[in-house]
Amino acid sequence: MRSVLLIVYHYFQARRKNRWKNETELAAWQERRIRRHVEKIRRSSAFYRELWSGISASEWRRFPIIEKAVMMDNFTALNTVGITKTQAFATAYEAESSRHFKPTINGITVGLSSGTSGNRGIFLVSEAEQAAWTGAVLGKLLPGGLWKRARIAFFLRANSNLYESVSRGRLEFRFFDLLEPIPQLIERMEAFGPDIWIAPPSMLRLLADERQAGRLGLVPRTVISVAEVLDPLDRTVIEETFGQQVQQAYQCTEGFLGATCEHGTLHLNEDIVHIEKEYLDKNSRRFVPIVTDFSRTAQPIIRYRLNDILTEAVEPCVCGSPFTSIERIEGRCDDILYLPHYVNGELITLFPDFVTRAVIKASPDIEHYRVIQHSPLDMEISFCSRPGGRSRKETGRLIGAELLQLCSRLGCISPQLTFTDYEFTPGPQKLRRVERRWVL
């Protein structure tokens, strides 16, 4: 009963659009919450108590920034619920290998991150935090309100008690395993008849392709993209196929960080987390988020640097929210490409969005693509084109011309291009349209 009341409470909190008159009022509210929160965490986490030694709660911005490797190395001392790193990994791996996702230790949900970089992380969520997450997700993403019937299809690499907690009352949840064969997934979808689809954009794109091919008869009421970068090419195909705007949920191991408003703008969830902006390029408004979650206690997230590249919107959203508007989640810092300057050999930054736009601009016939940089002067372009369009050779020439123009504009040496056939099936690995495979 307590969990239900918490869900309802956080649902209504998430839907309150005028809690703060402006950004200044929001910032003052966040400051009070964070100071109380860090004092609580200092008492219950041995790791943070030592890390923050000699620094007061009012000076929390002086706390050392941590990253994933630090969190995983100190997992046992960092969490506040007495679960060791060995216990957590053993429980989560057992659930993933058996595909029976009910992993808990003493009532604490245990889960694995997808490990895009090859270094998998672990997350802990208490029952109260699970209820708060559920209420926030429903409040920010559920169309029509809490009491309108909805069938929700989650397409994910691994299920969790956290995700299944969404299934409440008139809401019916069904997990669709990305490891299942596509024909089997579609058969299950047709039987379930979901009207809300939540999936990585690579899966949403595949479902759009299946719909266009006549193998999928369903059309969703709401489409929500999660877990991967929503590429402009995929967004266009998904929206044209299903006749609606794709919403986004910025959700990761570190929390529920953002959601799309009714005007289609992605906002940071600054009623749940505080985000410091570490700018990569202030002129283009690109930054790396440093997250402080002031409601999460089982596994505290405080001044935690993510590896994501976010682009802040130029103008505030017309919805009037004081929450930061995000133009685009561009990708990972690991996937920034670098090319040598043609004069002095210094490495020039090539943000993933630069490459994406160049490839898409090359030809309207391109249906799928991936760009993989194997070394500073070795780049692989895999792509496929729609039938009846330009020849593969001509499309490759156009892609090469666009990338050459980009390199010329940035003053860097154009890499040697290798063209290969596009291959990707949604499953255990996330789709990365632009990827760097050499170490800087």
| 374-386 tens-digit pLDDT | 999 999 999 999 9
User: Which is more confidently placed, 359 or 389?
Assistant: 359
pLDDT band at 232 (very low <50, low <70, confident <90, very high): very high
Class of 336-436 in CATH: alpha beta
Is the CA virtual torsion 70, 76, 78, 81 positive or negative?
A: positive
Does the pLDDT of residue 58 top 80, yes or no? yes
DSSP type of residue 335: G
Residue appearing with tokens 């790396």:
288
Lowest mean pLDDT among 120-124, 318-322, 409-413: 120-124
Lowest mean pLDDT among 79-83, 161-165, 313-317, 343-347: 161-165
Binning the chain into helix, strand and coil, the percentages to the nearest 5 are: 35, 25, 35
Strand, helix or coil for residue 78: helix
User: Which tokens sit at 379?
Assistant: 């780049």
Q: What value does the mean pLDDT take over residues 334-345?
A: 93
The continuous run of DSSP H or E covering 292 comes out as: strand 286-293
Position 219 scores a pLDDT of 94
Does the pLDDT of residue 1 top 70, yes or no? no
Contacts 24+ apart (CB under 8 A), 105-112: 106/81, 106/82, 108/81, 108/83, 108/298, 109/160, 109/161, 109/162, 110/83, 111/158, 111/160, 111/162, 111/253, 112/158
Q: Are 293 and 301 in contact (CB under 8 A)?
A: yes
Lowest mean pLDDT among 47-61, 125-139, 220-234, 259-273: 125-139
For the chain, domain boundaries: 2-332, 336-436
Position 164 scores a pLDDT of 54
pLDDT above 90: percentage of residues in the chain: 67
CB hemisphere CA count around 239 (13 angstroms): 14
Position 122 scores a pLDDT of 85
Class of 2-332 in CATH: alpha beta
Q: What is d(CA 338, CA 410) in angstroms, rounded to the nearest whole number?
A: 11
Strand, helix or coil for residue 332: strand
